[in-house]
Structure 1
Amino acid sequence: MYDELIDSGELPIARKSVVPGTGFFLPDTLEEDLEDEQTAAALEGADVAVVADPDADGLACVALIREAYDDVRNVPEPDDEDAEDAESDDGARADDPAVDTEPAADAVDDADEAAVALAAGEADAPLEEPEPTPHSVALIPASPHDVEDALARVAEYGDEGIDLFVCDLAPDRYEYVEDELDAALETASGVAWYDHHQWGDDVAQSVRDAGVDLVVGDSDEECSADVVYRSLEWDFSPMYEELAAVTRDHDLWLREDPRSDDLADYAYWTDPAEYVEVVREYGADLPDWARDFLEERRVEKEALIDQAVGRSELREIGGYTVGITYGRCSQNEVAEAMREQGADASVIVKPAGSASIRGTDEFQLCHEVAGKVNGGGHPKAAGCKPDIYDDMLDYANHWVTRGAVTKRVILEAFRDVVEEAEADGDDATVDDE
């Protein structure tokens, strides 16, 4: 296949909105090889491994743990020449037609695509070398769909007696991670797991019984960074308390602090290793050069949001209005636009086959809906990827029909959840768990 056929970087926005990024088209074997190499390099000589979701919340957890272990790096401020170099060749990656330097997919909801994107270096890095030397606290990015693979890699490549943390990730079932967690426990001196998602009581108990120090925060009140901040025995400076608070503002979709959008976008668009060190240096107040980088990126971001909002439609399901759309976009802003149109809950179906589900005060069972279609999350924010794609023809149909089948199965899940809640005499604004 010609490289340009899977490189969507130069496509017009209308076409770019409906197809996945380059990472989606790379084979799993390449992804696995790249992740093996990167994990082995990161863990070489490391005293600590942190398996974390590479969004702003998960990466804030890494920053806190590195601070607690005194793993310090100084972040250079790029001068004009460095910025031009980063823009033109992104560390010599942009000249490689096989690698797409457009933003990596959302790491929570587009788990499969994001894993390849991060491994292949698709995330932009304004600094030339975001992680020039090995850290004693190694970052191992993982999605909710492949946390078991990350645990297995720590078991294989980590030194005997390494400390292991797992942050901002929750398995839907214990058997998904059972063997890999056992292997990691044999290698590590101890495992601490910090999260704030919805955990089943049986899953949480099984993880604890395996020997893990599991702390799960209230998903309505805390983000995972909050959990790490209060759980580690370390006297953090006020900067880190503020970082956790601003991260929470976006992760729980409170949107009371404008800086939280900056953190979320920067984590989304830049290399995870760079993000960690930048917030270690500057906290929640990003430097001017980082904000300039965000402003440039947001031109395309807003255009993709407009495309998805333009495709949106509203459906009535059991007394609730559900907005649904399709597109490669920032799902939270699109969900907010549908809420303003009257949606009690919103579904954003992505070209990679996954979907984001967002609720409101009127509908707080998003995690229940996602749970019926191979996903999970919070009462007001969840993600899923329905198990309906058997071959590339199914994906081709997905792109051409703008996610018609995926929309149908998720709306059916909405109907089932609403009907079950009504049968039980519950209200969709109440979280039964």
Structure 2
Amino acid sequence: MALPGGDGTKPYDRIVAMVESRKLPVVHLTHNDLDAVGADAIHRMKFGDITTIFCSVGKFPAILDAVSRVSGKGDTLSISDIGFRKDLKNTLLRARENGWKIEWRDHHRWNEDEIRMAESLCDIVHVDTKTCACGICAQDLMPGDPVATEVAGVVCDYDLWRHEDPRSAVLGEVLQRKKNREYVRDCLEKGIFSDAYIEKECAEIRDDMEEVMRKSIRKARISDNKYRIAFAPLYRYPSETAARIRKELGTDIEVLVSPNGRFSLRSEPPISHILAREFNGGGHPNAAGGSFSFSVWDRLLFRFLGRSSHFDRFVAVAETT
């Protein structure tokens, strides 16, 4: 579903209304990429036409807060493909007090303190960094089901950068357009991985992808010290753009920065998650995300000159990692 805003409603009013009017006893709160879409397909194989909320990592705390204020009535709030944060403790406590059963399945890096805290607040916590969130959901909700197993295999191939199954790249690229989330999800629920619509969308996206990747590469700035790091503007397609930059510019780390300071990070050395945690983010050893606290001046400097003092701090952190 599209997040509210710009139409006079209070933040997340639509989400609250949707959760309040749920028809089935499961609400699935998840990320917004192929892994999340696959995880939702698995949920729907198990539970049917549940209430689903796709969200960014940045908006997750506020959306979880909104859902926690709705009466759970003993229903399940299933969270997937989003990492734990200790500052969510009070929100999760409120959700439990309001009658929600909380299940959390994720494959990002959690430390032991985070796992212990989550286990004290949730009914189920399943963290496994060896697979994707869709894979965890398939194991827990549809064990042994051949369709769920195949869906998880295709999704993990893309999300874990294996790139052994050509179907995964097509689906990952098609989901660069958020309008396709529900369509792809419904296909995966039926065990369908391609059709005429998916092929058409993929062809259009690949044409656009080539253009914007070239633009990012032209504007990339390189820091060449312990690691060769590229800082470049992010237009769309973070994974594909990072891979192209690495191939053409021989980088070790790629930092793709949005105008508001949020960034997508990829690295050859397995340190992305460590670096991202220093910048209000997190993720995987080779792929993560975070945020630079851009002021108005920072935004202007980055937009017109491609520079930022935050890049110097990032390099300094990388040098000591």
Question: TM-score higher than 0.5 here?
Answer: yes
Show CA shifts across 1:313-360 (max 9, x none): 433222x32233223131212221232232222221222311111112
3-state SS in 2 of match to 1:214 = strand
**Cα 1:161–1:413 shift into 2, 3 Å:** same
Distance 1:278 1:158, change over 3 A: farther
1:199 and 2:110 matched: yes
Offset at 1:406?
A: 3.7
How far 1:366 sits from its partner (Å)?
1.0
Q: Is structure 2 residue 249 aligned with structure 1 residue 249?
A: no
> 1:214 aligns to what?
125
Separation in 1 of the partners of 2:121 and 2:19? Answer: 26
1:369 alignment counterpart: 275
> Which runs of 5 or more structure 1 residues have no equivalent in the other structure?
1-22, 72-134, 418-433
CA RMSD between the two structures: 2.5
Q: What residue is the counterpart of 1:312 in the other structure? A: 220
Distance in 1 of aligned mates of 2:175 and 2:233: 23
Equivalent residues of 2:22, 2:51 under 8 A apart: no
Query: Structure 2 CA distance, aligned partners of 1:307 and 1:31?
Result: 36
**Secondary structure at the residue paired with 1:256?**
coil
Amino acid at match of 2:42: L
Paired residue for 1:64? 42
Structure 1 Cα separation of the partners of residues 102 and 5 of structure 2: 28
- Contact 2:108–2:128 at 8 Å: present in 1 too? yes
Match of 1:334 in 2: 241
Checking the alignment, whether the CA contact within 8 Å between 1:314 and 1:323 is kept in structure 2 is yes
Write the distance in 2 (CA, Å) between the matches of 1:184 and 1:274.
30
Report how far residue 217 of structure 1 moved.
Answer: 0.6
2:75 counterpart of 1:162? yes
Once residues 246 and 320 of structure 2 are traced to their aligned partners in structure 1, the CA distance between those partners, rounded to angstroms, is 22
What is the identity, as a one-letter code, of the residue corresponding to 2:254?
S
Q: Which string of whole-angstrom CA distances, capped at 9 and with x for unpartnered residues, describes residues 134-165 of structure 1? A: x4x11012222232222222223354111110
Which gives a bigger RCO, structure 1 or 2 (Cα 8 Å, sep 6+)? Answer: 1
Instruction: Give the drift of 1:37.
Output: 1.1
Identify which range, 201-210 or 157-166, moves more after superposition. 157-166
- Once residues 259 and 188 of structure 1 are traced to their aligned partners in structure 2, the CA distance between those partners, rounded to angstroms, is 40
Which one of the candidate residues 255, 259, 264 is aligned to 1:347?
Answer: 255
Q: Is the 8 A contact 2:280 2:291 kept in 1?
A: yes
Give the number of equivalent residue pairs.
Answer: 317
Q: Is the contact between residue 104 and residue 122 of structure 2 (CA under 8 Å) also seen in structure 1?
A: no
The share of aligned pairs that are identical, in percent, is 22
Identify the residue that residue 35 of structure 1 maps to in structure 2: 12
The aligned counterpart of 2:203 is 295
Q: Distance in 2 between matches of 1:386 and 1:27?
A: 25
What does residue 237 of structure 1 align with?
145
| Structure having the higher Rg | 1
Which range moved further: 367-376 or 147-156?
A: 147-156
Q: For 2:16 and 2:37, locate their aligned partners in 1 and report how far apart those are by CA, in whole Å.
A: 16
TM-score by length of 2: 0.90
Task: Write the distance in 2 (CA, Å) between the matches of 1:337 and 1:348.
Answer: 12
Instruction: Judge conservation of contact 1:328–1:351 (CA < 8 Å) in 2.
Output: no
Q: 1:262 touches 1:294 (CA, 8 Å); kept in 2?
A: yes
With the length of structure 1 as denominator, give the TM-score of the two structures: 0.68
Per-residue deviation, residues 183-226 of structure 1 (Å, max 9, x unmatched): 112234421100000112111111111233111112xx311111
Go from structure 1 to structure 2 and tell me whether the alpha carbon gap of 1:32 and 1:347 turns closer, same or farther (over 3 Å shift). farther
